[in-house]
Amino acid sequence: MEVKLVLTRTELNEYIKEYTGRSLSACMQCGLCTAVCPMSRFMDVHPAALIRLLQVSDVDISKLKAIWVCTSCMTCVDRCPRDVAPGMVIETLRLLALRRGIEPRSYSEMPIDINTPTLLLVSYSRKLTG
Partner 1 sequence: MSSSHEGRFVTIYFNDEAFKVPEGLTVMKALEYAGIRFTHGSGCRGGFCGACPILYRLPGDYKFRVGLACQTAVVDNMRISLIPYVPVVPPKIKRSDVKPSPGYVIALFPELTRCVSCNACSKACPQGLSPMDAVQAILRGDLIKAATLTFDCISCGLCSLRCPAEIRHYLVFRVVGRIVGLFYTPKVKTIEHRIKEIKEGKYSKALETLASMKPDELRKIYDSYLKSGRLPEFLEVK
Partner 2 sequence: MKTLLYYPGCSIKKDFTDIEKASMSLLSALGYTVIEIENWYCCGGFSSITLLDHVKQVGAFRTLSIASKQSIKLSTNTILTLCPFCYNVLKRASTLQVNEPGVYRRVAEYLKDDVEPYSGGLSIIHLVELLVAELDNLKKLVKNSLKGLRIAAYYGCMLLRPKNVAIDNPENPLSIEKVLEVLGAEPVDFPYKTYCCGAFHTLGEAEIVSYNSTKIIKSAIDAGATIIATPCPLCLYNLQRYSPYVEAGIKVLHLVDVIAHAIGLHSINKLINLKINSK
Binding site for partner 1 (CB under 8 A): 107, 110, 112-116, 118, 121-122, 124-126, 129
Q: Under rule CB under 8 A, how many of the chain's residues touch partner 2? A: 41
Q: For partner 2, which is the closer residue by CB, 19 or 53?
A: 19
87 binds partner 2 (CB under 8 A): yes
Based on the shown chain and the rule CB under 8 A, indicate whether residue 92 belongs to the binding site for partner 2.
yes
- Residues 6 or more apart whose CB falls under 8 angstroms from that of 115 comprise none
> Cβ of 120: how many Cβ atoms within 10 Å?
11
Burial (Cβ within 10 Å: 0-12, 13-18, ≥19) of residue 80: buried
Those residues whose C-beta lies under 8 Å from the C-beta of residue 41, and which sit 6 or more positions away, are: none
Does 82 bind partner 2 (CB under 8 A)? Our answer is no
Bridge partners of 7, per DSSP, are 59
Q: Choose the one of partner 2, partner 1, none that binds residue 129, judging by a C-beta under 5 to 8 angstroms depending on kind.
A: partner 1
Residue 26 in the binding site for partner 2 (CB under 8 A): no
Q: How far is CA 14 from CA 25, 44, 82, in A?
A: 12, 24, 19
Question: Using CB under 8 A as the criterion, which residues of the chain lie in contact with partner 2 when the complex forms?
Answer: 18-21, 38-39, 41-42, 68-69, 71-75, 77-78, 87-88, 91-92, 95, 104-105, 110-112, 115-128
